[in-house]
Amino acid sequence: MKLNNLFMVGIDQSAPIEIREKVSFGKKVVDALMKIKEIEGITEAVVLSTCHRSEVYFISAESGDDAVRWFFCEFFKVDKDILKPYLYTLQGKYVTEHLFRVACGLESMVLGEDQILGQVKEAWGRAMEAGASGKILNRLFMDAVTLGKRARAETHITDHPLSISYIAVKFIQGIFEDLSNKTAYVIGTGEMGRLAIKHLLTKGIKEVFVSNRTHSRAVDLKQEIPEITVVPYGQKYEKIARNDIVISATDAPHYTIDYNKFMAVYNGKKICMVDIALPRDIDPRIGEIEGVNLYTIDDLKNTAEKNRKKREELIAVIEKMVDKTVDEFIKWYNSLSMVPVIKHLNDYAENACLSEYERVINKLAGIGEREKKHIKYALKRVGTRIVNRYLMGLKTLAEEGKLDQSVLNIFQGGDFNV
C-alpha cells in the first residue's frame, strides 16, 4: 500500500464559527467512526474533534477523499454547497506533516498550547477502542503524541500558560484592568472551564461561582479548587445577572444561556460574557443587548496573536523536529513492503540450509551428534549472513521509496525459489 492511501479531510479555524459548529463531532465521535468504517475501501480511521477543527484521518485504497467529504454532509445534515468552500483534503506525506504540527501546537490559535496534545491522544484512544484504527494510523498517532511531548519538553514552549482559557482571562483583564473587585461565574467544569477558573484566581478575582449540569462534578471541582463557590445549575440565570463576568465552556449541543430566559432576569448591569465553547453556549442575540459585551473564540484572535510573538522564535526549532519525524515515519511506512520479503528470505534460507545439512549428514558416516550440531549451526549462520546482506540493501531502497515492485516479486517468490 502506498503512502498516498493516507488521507485527511476536515475543517479548521480558518472557517467561520457558524460553519465549524455545524460540523462539530462532540460526543458523536464513536458514531462517526462506525459510519466511516462502513465506507467501502476505508480500512482505518481516526476522528479528531476540537474547538477549532473537525478532521477525519483515514486509509483508503479505493474511494479517495470523495466518500468522506460526502460523509460530512450526510452525518451533519449540511448542504454540500455550504461545506464545500471550507472542507480541505491532505494526502500522503502532507497528512503526516499536518498531524505532527497539530500535536506540537503549531496549528493552534495559541502557539504550543497543551490542550491539543491531549485531544490528539484522546482521538487516537477512541479510535482504538472502536476498532477503527490499525497498524498505520496507530503508528502515525503514536509518533504524533511522542513528538508533541518531546517538542514541549525540549523547547519549554509551555513555560508560560497560553491556553485558550488563559487568553480568555487575559482578554477580560484587558477590558476591566483590575479584577480584584469583580466576580465571575463559570459554567462548565471541563478542562477549559477549570483552566479559566485557575487563571481568574491567579489574576486576583474577588470571587468565582461555578455551575455544571452534573452537579457532582462541580462539587468534585471544589475539592481541587476550594476557593470556588458551587451554584446549582438551576440557579444559573440569577447568577449570570449578578456577576460582572460570565465564562461558558461546556460541550452542550444547544445554547446553555437562552436569550429569553436571560432577558427575564437581566437588570441592566454591565456584564462581560466570554463564550469559549463550540458549538456556542450563549445565544448570539444576547450580545446585542445594551450593557452586555459578548465575545466568542474568534474574538480572542487578536490577543492570541500578541501572545504568539512570545513563542515565534521556537517555531523553527519545532519545525525541524517535525521534519525529522516525518522522514522517520515515511521510512517506516516504506519499509512495510519489506515484511513479506523478510519472511520469504528467512524461510528460503532456513529451508536451503536444512536441505544442505541433511544432504551433507547423509554422506558423512560415523559423525557424532556434537559435530552435527556444529555443522547445522554453521550453515544457519551462513544463511543468516547472506539474508541480512540482501535485506540491508533492500531495506535502504525501501526506506528511500526506490524499491521496485518487480524486485519485490523476485524476492517474495516468483523467480527466487529454492
**What's the pLDDT tens digit per position in 184-226?**
999 999 988 999 999 999 899 999 999 999 999 999 999 999 9
| pLDDT tens per residue, range 371-393 | 888 888 888 888 778 777 766 76
Q: Which 8-state DSSP code applies to residue 160?
A: S
Instruction: Indicate whether 110 pLDDT > 80.
Output: no
Active site residue 104: no
Cell of 10: 476536515
Phi, psi of 85 (to 5 degrees): -65, -20
Check 51, 104, 272, 353 and give the catalytic one: 51
CA distance to 8, 85, 121, 175, per residue, from 54 (Å): 10, 15, 15, 31
Q: Are 205 and 194 in contact (CB under 8 A)?
A: no
CATH 3.30.460.30 domain range(s) in the chain: 3-160
Q: 170 in helix, strand or coil?
A: helix
Phi, psi of 370 (to 5 degrees): -60, -45
Spatial distance between the Cα atoms of 182 and 185, rounded to a whole number of angstroms: 10
For the entire predicted model, the pTM comes to 0.66
User: What radius of gyration do the chain's Cα atoms show?
Assistant: 29
| Cβ neighbours of 259 (radius 10 Å) | 16
User: DSSP of 208-259, one letter per residue?
Assistant: EEEE-SSHHHHHHHHHH-TT-EE--GGGHHHHHHH-SEEEE----SS-SB-H
Place 337 in a pLDDT band, splitting at 50, 70 and 90: low
Spatial distance between the Cα atoms of 338 and 400, rounded to a whole number of angstroms: 12
Q: What is the mean pLDDT of residues 341-345?
A: 69
For residue 153, the one-letter residue type is A
User: DSSP of 39-102, one letter per residue?
Assistant: STTEEEEEEEE-SS-EEEEEEESSSTTHHHHHHHHHHHT--HHHHTTT-EEEETHHHHHHHHHH
Cell of 46: 481516526
More confident residue, 128 or 300: 128
CATH 3.40.50.720 domain range(s) in the chain: 164-302
Task: Give the H or E element holding residue 11.
Answer: strand 6-11
Q: Which CATH superfamily is domain 164-302 in?
A: NAD(P)-binding Rossmann-like Domain (3.40.50.720)
Q: What topology is assigned to 3-160 in CATH?
A: Beta Polymerase; domain 2 (3.30.460)
Instruction: Indicate whether 263 pLDDT > 80.
Output: yes
